[in-house]
Structure 1
Amino acid sequence: MKAADGKRYNADVANTEELLRIIQSIPSLKAEPFKMWLAQVGRERINQRLQAIQVPFLFFPISDVFPR
């Protein structure tokens, strides 16, 4: 990657999918609140996209599909 000083440096990088997989693999209780927040934000974004393309049949509680 090119730095502000114009030189090129090696860097560890990850795309979005790779970064989410790394976060998902963290086995720490301290990471759980972040993972839950990330899942909630992801769910909200998916719902926003689905509403934008008008797919109402996908909006139902998961418990209706997979009862315990």
Structure 2
Amino acid sequence: MLAIAAAVVFGIYLLLDLLDVQTSDLFNFNTFASLGLLLLSLYLAGVGSGPRAGTGSGRRFYGRRPGRG
């Protein structure tokens, strides 16, 4: 989810840059790059990735697993 948010931040900045929209000093390249890289680093660190395996979530297969010939 955080990777999607980072992609949205980078996409918004790309559109603003392509359309030559003048933004205030608050929303400049450094702000968008920092926010996008922060979201990507949180995603890669595993923050907000949902429940981990073994916590009772997911599918349980008893006996033969489907699709194993």
Q: Which TM class, normalised by the smaller chain length?
A: 0.3 to 0.5
Q: Larger Rg: 1 or 2?
A: 2
TM-score by structure 1 length? 0.33
TM-score, with normalisation over the residues of structure 2? 0.32
Greater RCO (CA < 8 Å, at least 6 residues apart): 2
